[in-house]
Amino acid sequence: MVGSVLVRDDRESHVYRSGKLMRSEGAEGRNFLITNLITQDTYGVANTGCLHDRHPYVRAIPFSFTGLDVKMERTAGGQETVDGHSCKIEDVSLNSPKLPNPIKLRLWEAEDLQGFPVKIEFVRIGGHDPVIHYKNVVLGPQDPTLFIYPKTCEPPPKGQPMPTKAPPGARKPAAKPADTPPQQ
């Protein structure tokens, strides 16, 4: 994943999804965050402890919108090639009582990746239209140990990390051989 909904964010990060769970690397790869896309809860896990937040991590967006009971309106937007993928373009509007305003997205859905959006643009009034690119996309089952997190993390005290330990089964993704692209 390259970029996010944050202003001027062009950072690259590995992301993994398994059903309702999404895992993202934290800043500088020193921790990882797992967001439950349905409940919107996020668990941040590092060697120094575990934090629980009742909001989705920014890198889980736009997939975290599924937990907001959204109604989706889709409009065809043509065809385009992005990073070698032939894509169907869709303009999408998401509405929910849990959202203050509708969210408008433009998706480039790769036909060779079962419609996975390799590019997502957030269309905003005022001009700042953040773009997220997904590259080296690999579809298929994920290693379940990538999604282990302590179920008993507590909310972080203001300004201080929690002193709990990372779960024993949680691990970093296995290193890929040089000729195999990483999953993102």
b (16+ CB within 10 A) / e for 111-132? eeeeebbbbbbbeeeeeeebeb
Average the pLDDT over 40-50 and give the result. Answer: 88
Q: What is the pLDDT of residue 136?
A: 93
87: which 2 tokens? 């894509």
CATH number at residue 134: 2.50.20
Which tens digits make up the pLDDT trace of 77-131? 999 999 999 999 999 999 988 888 889 999 999 999 999 999 999 998 777 789 9
Is 87 a domain residue? Answer: yes
What are the residues whose beta carbons fall under 8 Å from the beta carbon of 92, sequence distance 6 or more?
Answer: 72, 73, 74, 75, 104, 105, 106, 107
Residue labelled with tokens 């269309």 = 123
Is 23 a domain residue? Answer: yes
Q: What is the pLDDT of residue 139?
A: 94
Domain total in the chain: 1
181: which 2 tokens? 């692209």
Is 155 a domain residue? Answer: no
Is 7 a domain residue? Answer: no
Whether pLDDT at 176 is above 50: no
Is 66 a domain residue? Answer: yes
Q: Which domain holds residue 115?
A: 15-147
Is 171 a domain residue? Answer: no
Is 92 a domain residue? Answer: yes
